[in-house]
Amino acid sequence: MKYQLGEGFWSQKIRQVCDRMIPLQLSILKDEEPDTEPSHALENFRIAAGLSEGEFHGMVFQDSDIGKWIEAAAYRLMIAPDPELEREIDGIVAILGKAQQEDGYLNTWYTIKEPGKRWTNLQDCHELYSFGHLTEGAVAYHQATGKRAFLEIMQRMADHIDTVIGPEEGKLHGYPGHPEAELALYRLYRETGNEKYLKLSRYFLDQRGQAPNFFEEEWERRGRINFWSGKKDPVNLPYYQAHQPVREQEEAVGHAVRALYLYTGMACVAAETGDAELAEACRRLWHSAVNRKMYVTGGLGATVHGEAFMGNYELPNDTAYAETCASVALCFFSRAMSLMERDGKYGDAAETALYNTVLAGISLQADRFFYVNPLEVVQGVSGVQEGLKHDLAQRPRWYACACCPPNVARLLTSLKEYAVQDQGSEITVHQYLDGSVECEKAALSLKTNYPWDGDLLYTAEIRDDVKLYLRIPAWAEPENVRLTVDGAAVPVCPEKGFICLEPGKGRHEIRLCLPMKPRRIYAHEQIRQDAGCVAFACGPLVYCLEGCDNPEPLWNLTADPEGELSMLDPDGSLPDGIRKMVIPGHRRTDASESLYSGRRPVYEPQKLTAIPYYAWANREPRDMRVWIREG
């Protein structure tokens, strides 16, 4: 599909990524950005290629940043040509080619730092993870330009892996410690048609968690030493989603990003092969992650300890982890599930993640980044006290572990793939992406100010008979949704979240009007952290209170359960037409100096002002809360 940017919300965000994030990240990867810790990611490849001298610097998976950046840049080229950007990528690819070993092996950590220890620690050392991100970058660059050099580099690496790992005698019977290669091999298979790559992807999935457990055997061979701690720590199999075969797993556990990358690979392979058992496992794990362990903002992974899922309904706000990468990965998983079956719940979850935690991961100027996305911040406490140091009140410029910024970049520059699914005679609209999309049998152009209003106007040029499926968001009550085709009203009776239209050949105007009224959200009764509290949303946007607009401390504010919610016109305090919400409420004003008192608190009327969650921490540092006491 070919996509042309429009003038609305997502087009503005994508332009920011193209014009600011991608050049900034390249400057950082090349160690050219002032006042920023050197990445050394490209320099590692130069050293491995014999073009520079020096030591390896960075994380064991530092190579992956190059792969993600090239993938984002490739999608940028699909939006509009950029000869200079293409020359930059070609120069990097040439360095990677020189760094590749004769047998196809490509990994700077083991080439520079531990050349004799290849494939000795699949559990922790990310050889397959880095391969995966480089491969996804190679596939995207081939799709964008037709150039094969990078693709052939990664095919040689994939062929090398196939000689080292697999079911045959003499090979390692292992799989990735950090899933990613499963999805990358699937994409490499789709791009090249070589079924060997699909077979290897499926092997990684099916071998995971089998007895005897490969990670335990590998740990024994390493003298029971954990790579990260340097200590004799036992293998935490659930952390790696390696505690059971994937087809038997019932609950989303362990490191959240690893889990969601794994589930994405599972769903892609299930959709490609028609594997019903694997598909059913994906449905179970989807239900566990989204319906039991997801924050209202689309964040996943509740604890800093292992960047992991907690138990069902355990969703603390002030210690939340909710890594940006996990919400990006939820979008990957959603798309993969949509390839498997059409159900609006997948688009609903992706929409929540996109408009909230994913966008909160980048500043409004697209030059600073959150790794962790809490739902409550208190100045002087968050980011300072033990147990809360991960929950920062301001976005840093960069990270030593810089997985999140390029992950957001590659997601947003490829957003057309998540918005519209072209299956020839069926076109499914999952997300409302303004601009124009050219499909096989039709062209769709969307003009909208969504999410600031719910009026979506499609102009459809239908060249052949097709069915057009439009997702009706779960938050939009069908009785309040209006749909017309060429001015004629169409009944809105969604099936699994979608309306099906058959407009026929020719030019058509399709208008979808969604009710964009502010609303309250209440948490499940088992989420103890949110008992007695309420959150607020309008359309897909979850709102939060920030100290810039409200009297602090925010914990002394309560929302009126009967008060009428209203939206304000943009006031200029935040850019890009951001609209605030007004919430009738109260403020506790008693001034007792006693630590405890028998005096009943006094509450005075107070208008509370909320902003979209993605826009917080873009002004002076202040307190923030998503969930507010109601009463």
Catalytic residues: 307, 403
Distance set, CA 283 to CA 69, 113, 248, 269, 551 (Å) = 31, 41, 12, 14, 44
Strands 467-471 and 482-485 come out as unpaired
Q: How far apart are CA 257 and CA 409, in angstroms?
A: 17
Pairwise CA distance, residues 420 & 25, whole Å: 28
- Exposed, middle or buried, 504 (CB in 10 Å: 0-12/13-18/19+)? exposed
The token pair at 140 is 């995207």
Structure tokens at 106: 């490509």
In one letter, which amino acid is 234?
P
Whole-number Å distance between alpha carbons of 347 and 475: 12
CA–CA gap between residue 424 and residue 440 (Å, rounded): 6
Tokens of 354: 């996109």
Bridge partners, residue 442, by sequence: 462
Residue type, 249: Q
Distance CA 30, CA 20 (A): 16
Reduced to 3 states (helix: H, G, I; strand: E, B; else coil), residue 584 is: strand
Question: What is the Cα–Cα distance from 492 to 481, expressed in whole angstroms?
Answer: 7
Query: Would you give the DSSP letter of residue 551?
Result: P
Closest CA to 351 of 476, 455, 469: 476
Distances (CA, A) of 331 to 283, 351, 457, 466: 15, 8, 25, 26
Token pair 């969650």 is found at 613
The tokens for 224 are 């029971």
3's CB contacts (< 8 A; 6+ apart) are: 78, 79, 416, 433, 435, 436, 437, 438
How are strands ordered across the β-sheet holding 482-485? 2-5, 435-438, 442-448, 455-462, 506-513, 482-485, 488-489
Contacts of 272 (CB under 8 A, 6+ apart): 186, 189, 190, 198
Going through 338-441 in order, the beta strands assigned E by DSSP cover 376-377, 420-422, 426-429, 435-438
Rg (the chain; Cα; Å): 25
Distance separating alpha carbons of residues 185 and 134, to the nearest angstrom: 11
Alpha-carbon gap, residue 209 to 202, rounded angstroms: 13
